[in-house]
Amino acid sequence: MNPESVVLLDFSRAETAHLSVIVRDFIELLDDSPADDPALARLVPSAYPDDDDAADEYRALTEADLLDSRRADARTVIDMLGPIDPAVLDSEAAHDVAPIAIDGVRLPAWLRTLAAVRLVLASRLGITSDDDRPVDDPRYGVYEWLAYRLDQLIEAASAQA
């Protein structure tokens, strides 16, 4: 996608507030989770699944930079979403829709962040394949909503290409 191109996504104010909280929670997970957290393992998969020593060495060399990149991407999304106004969630304004303009430079950060948050949710929900659907868990709705938003971003970016 051309860096000057812009993708517009309509978000309700409630969606914007919720996404901001989700992405902030994601940054907390990156900052505070123990190294053996399965969600982090999904974000930093083994480069050498059949060679533990090589996998450990590669992880030691790359994991910090990769997680720093994920933090930077998440901060880009948060900055674009703007400040959270919790009062909006209890008002009529929660349903007001406003477009978020995502330029070609920041679009990759959005795509990587939403995909990473979905990976974390998949880990927490025990989703390992498309057949896994824990519909009785309310977090599954968030997982599906993130997939919907990712699809919208990809489709809009493809139309711009």
Confidence category of residue 86, pLDDT binned at 50, 70, 90: confident
Confidence category of residue 79, pLDDT binned at 50, 70, 90: very high
Nearest residue to 77 (alpha-carbon basis) of 27, 152, 33: 27
- Burial class of residue 145 in the structure, from the number of CB atoms within 10 Å of its CB (0-12 exposed, 13-18 middle, 19+ buried): middle
Residue 94 reports pLDDT greater than 80: yes
